[in-house]
Structure 1
Amino acid sequence: MKTNFSFVRTWSAAALLLAAACSRSTAPQVQPAATAGTPAQAVEAVLAQLHEHEQFDGAVLVAEQGRVTLQQAAGWANQARREALRPDAQFDVSALSQTFTAAAVLALRDQQELHLDDELSRYVPNLPYPGVTLRHLLTHTSGIPEVDVRESGNDVAAELYYLHPEAAFAPGRRWEYTTTNYALLQKVVERVSGLAFADYLQRSFFGPLNMRDTRATAQAQVAPERRAVGYARPTYLRPATPAAAVVPGLHIYSTLTDLHTWMRGLRNGQFLTAASVAELFAPTRLADGSWASTTLRGRAAGFGMGWFTSLPASGQSMVWHSGGQDGYFAYLGFDAAADRVVILLNNTADAAGTLATATVVEQVLGGRPALLPKRSVARAVGRLVAAQGIEAAVLHYASVHTDTARYYASEFEFEQLSQELQARQRPAEALAVLTAYAATAPAADGLREPLLRLHTRLVVARTAAWAQAPAVVAL
Structure 2
Amino acid sequence: MKNTFVKGIIIVLLAGVLLWGALQLMVSIKTSVPDLELTTAISSEDGIASLDQWLSTLASEDSFNGGVLITKEGTPIFKKAYGYTDHLRTTRLSSTSSFRLASVSKQFTAFGIMLLENKGLLDYDAPVTTYIPTFPYKDVTVRHLLNMTSGIPDGYLQLADQHKLTVGNVLSIQEAVSLLCTYPSKAALPNSWFNYSNSNYILLAGIIENVSGQSFEVYMQQAIFDPLEMKNARVWNLFSKDKTFPNKTLGFEKQGDVYIPMYPTFIDGVSGDGGIFSSLDDFVIWDQALYNNSLLSQEKLKEAFTTPTLTDGTVSDYGFGWSLGDEVMQHSGGWLAARTFIYRNTKTKTCLVILDNSANTLHFMSIQEKLLEVMDTL
Query: Which range, TM-score by smaller chain?
Result: 0.7 to 0.9
Aligned to 1:9: none
- Deviation of the 1:36 alpha carbon: 3.0
Partners of 1:245 and 1:303 in 2: CA distance = 28
Partners of 2:216 and 2:72 in 1: CA distance = 32
AA in 2 matched with 1:182:
Y
- Deviation of the 1:124 alpha carbon: 0.7
Aligned to 2:186: 166
Partners of 2:137 and 2:246 in 1: CA distance = 45
Partners of 1:140 and 1:175 in 2: CA distance = 6
Contiguous gaps of at least 5 residues in structure 2: 1-32, 165-170
Distance 1:308 1:240, change over 3 A: farther
Partners of 1:271 and 1:201 in 2: CA distance = 13
Aligned to 2:153: 145
In 2, are the aligned partners of 1:139 and 1:284 still within 8 Å (CA)?
Answer: yes
**1:226 has 2:247 as partner:** yes
**1:105 has 2:125 as partner:** no
- Deviation of the 1:358 alpha carbon: 2.4
1:286 to 310, 332, 336: 310
Partners of 1:191 and 1:161 in 2: CA distance = 15
CA offsets 1:141-179 (integer angstroms, 9 cap, x no match): 101122126764151221023322221x11001111111
Q: Secondary structure at the match of 2:106?
A: helix
Aligned to 1:372: none
In 1, are the aligned partners of 2:251 and 2:262 still within 8 Å (CA)?
Answer: yes
**1:156 has 2:198 as partner:** no
AA in 2 matched with 1:308:
S
AA in 2 matched with 1:354:
F
> Percent same amino acid at aligned positions?
25
In 2, are the aligned partners of 1:240 and 1:348 still within 8 Å (CA)?
Answer: no
Aligned to 1:175: 194
AA in 2 matched with 1:309:
L
AA in 2 matched with 1:228:
T
Aligned to 2:5: none
Structure-to-structure mapping, 1:34-433, within 5 angstroms? 34-40=37-43, 41=48, 42-52=50-60, 54-146=62-154, 147-148=156-157, 152=164, 153=171, 155-167=175-187, 169-218=188-237, 221=242, 223=244, 226-232=247-253, 234-235=254-255, 237-238=256-257, 240-247=259-266, 248-249=268-269, 250=271, 251-292=275-316, 302-310=317-325, 316-351=326-361, 353-367=363-377
Q: Secondary structure at the match of 1:278?
A: helix
Distance 1:207 1:214, change over 3 A: same
Partners of 1:243 and 1:31 in 2: CA distance = 28
Aligned to 2:3: none
- Deviation of the 1:225 alpha carbon: 6.2
Partners of 2:362 and 2:119 in 1: CA distance = 39
AA in 1 matched with 2:39:
A
Distance 1:66 1:183, change over 3 A: same
Distance 1:182 1:367, change over 3 A: same
Q: Secondary structure at the match of 1:44?
A: helix
In 2, are the aligned partners of 1:281 and 1:307 still within 8 Å (CA)?
Answer: yes
Q: Secondary structure at the match of 2:111?
A: helix
In 1, are the aligned partners of 2:87 and 2:252 still within 8 Å (CA)?
Answer: no
AA in 2 matched with 1:206:
F
In 1, are the aligned partners of 2:251 and 2:263 still within 8 Å (CA)?
Answer: no
- Deviation of the 1:102 alpha carbon: 0.8
- Deviation of the 1:367 alpha carbon: 2.5
What TM-score, normalized by structure 2, do the two folds share?
0.78
- Deviation of the 1:364 alpha carbon: 1.6
CA offsets 1:249-271 (integer angstroms, 9 cap, x no match): 25322111112212211221431
- Deviation of the 1:53 alpha carbon: 5.1
AA in 2 matched with 1:210:
E
Structure (1 or 2) with the greater helix fraction: 1
Partners of 1:239 and 1:175 in 2: CA distance = 41
AA in 2 matched with 1:216:
V
Moved over 3 A (4+): 48-55, 149-152, 222-225, 237-240, 244-248
Partners of 1:123 and 1:54 in 2: CA distance = 46
Aligned to 1:10: none
Q: Secondary structure at the match of 1:228?
A: coil
Partners of 2:86 and 2:245 in 1: CA distance = 9
Distance 1:243 1:177, change over 3 A: same
- Deviation of the 1:345 alpha carbon: 1.0
- Deviation of the 1:74 alpha carbon: 1.5
Aligned alpha-carbon RMSD (Å)? 2.5
AA in 1 matched with 2:176:
V
**Residues paired across the two proteins, number:** 322
- Deviation of the 1:224 alpha carbon: 6.5
In 2, are the aligned partners of 1:327 and 1:349 still within 8 Å (CA)?
Answer: yes
Q: Secondary structure at the match of 1:70?
A: strand
CA offsets 1:386-422 (integer angstroms, 9 cap, x no match): xxxxxxxxxxxxxxxxxxxxxxxxxxxxxxxxxxxxx
CA offsets 1:415-436 (integer angstroms, 9 cap, x no match): xxxxxxxxxxxxxxxxxxxxxx
Partners of 1:82 and 1:117 in 2: CA distance = 50
- Deviation of the 1:202 alpha carbon: 1.4
Q: Secondary structure at the match of 2:252?
A: coil
CA offsets 1:418-463 (integer angstroms, 9 cap, x no match): xxxxxxxxxxxxxxxxxxxxxxxxxxxxxxxxxxxxxxxxxxxxxx
